[in-house]
Amino acid sequence: MYGMLNQEVECIWPLGATLGEGPCWHAADQALYFVDIKGHAVHRCAADGSARRSWHLLGQVGFVLPLASGGLVCGLPHSLLHLDPHSGATRVLREVEPDTPNNRCNDGFADAQGRLWFGTMDDGEREHSGALYLWDGQRLRQQDSGYIITNGPCISPDGRSFYHTDTRAKCIYAYDLAPDGSLSNRRVLIRPEPPGHPDGTCIDAEGALWVAMFRGGRVDRYAPDGRLIGSIALPCPNITKLAFGGPDGRTAFITTARKGMTPEEISQAPLSGALFRVRLAVPGLPQHLLAPIA
């Protein structure tokens, strides 16, 4: 059995993002970074939603992750981009799928070795042209393929299991993960209950998976064996991802979206596209930094 977790959800930035996504906590900055994919924007704020700042890029930005050497890596439609948040300067680090014009980058994740895991997807959300990639700062390896919408790459606390979401197929896969990043033994771990599609995923210190439900109005918590063990309801339908942060790692930040909503639906859920936070009993795993890039 499971039930709604009785935590109070607080809106800390009612920015009305078209497709808010990819929250990540930067401990050194004591700040949360996230993106509005359709707004071509990277946003930053403090844990209480103050100290807000935004950068607008020349393209849809699927994710943002901090670098150990400073700055941020952003996933653009056909490139990985370095963003200097102090100057606003950008430079291309790596091309991605230059021969697949209708694809763009989507969700990303930094592992304990400082490697970048990210997916691509068909921007029209029709073709199975998306793939999962691993980038170590030099070599870009395709790890899986055949997706319409890739989402939610993340890794178990012991580093032995990798998780990846097939949003259109409404399932989350688990893989065996080798130290060199090789994946094997793909199997379906979770098929979330309706309504909604599984979107971004993250892991807490107990190894539980927190799955944002787009068009589901909630975040679900699953045990490592795939059992649903709790949910948090939000005051809007399109929930995109949760990330842990704050000084003790027990503040969960949740991004949401207005994409696909009618004016009437937005009037009924005016906080759609806002950034929320909620305090949880279990902390998340630390946000890793991507390895330095020359």
> Hey, which bits of 156-270 come out as E strands?
161-166, 171-177, 183-190, 197-203, 209-214, 218-222, 228-233, 239-245, 251-256
* Average pLDDT of the residues in 201-207: 98
Mean pLDDT of the chain: 96
> pLDDT tens for residues 66-93?
999 999 999 999 999 999 999 999 999 9
- List phi, psi (to 5°) of 205: -65, -20
Task: Using the predicted structure, report yes or no on whether residue 3 has a pLDDT greater than 90.
Answer: no
- What is the distance between the terminal CA atoms of the chain, rounded to a whole angstrom? 50
> pLDDT tens for residues 124-164?
999 999 999 999 999 999 999 999 999 999 999 999 999 99
- pLDDT value of position 284: 98
CB 103 within 8 A of CB 145: no
Best CA proximity match to 35, nearest among 105, 117, 91? 105
Domains of the chain and CATH, by start: 10-279 (2.120.10.30)
- pLDDT value of position 274: 98
- pLDDT value of position 6: 54
Q: In this prediction, what percent of the chain has a pLDDT beyond 70?
A: 97
Task: Using the predicted structure, report yes or no on whether residue 31 has a pLDDT greater than 60.
Answer: yes
- What pLDDT band is residue 5 in, cutting at 50, 70 and 90? low
Could you give the residue numbers annotated as active site? 199
pTM: 0.96
Strands 130-135 and 116-122: antiparallel
* HSE value, Cβ hemisphere, 13 Å, CA-based, for 36: 24
* Average pLDDT of the residues in 9-15: 98
Reported as type and span, the H/E element at residue 264 is helix 263-268
> pLDDT tens for residues 98-129?
999 999 999 999 999 999 999 999 999 999 99
Task: Using the predicted structure, report yes or no on whether residue 1 has a pLDDT greater than 60.
Answer: no
Alpha carbons 77 and 79: distance in angstroms, whole number: 6
- pLDDT value of position 256: 98
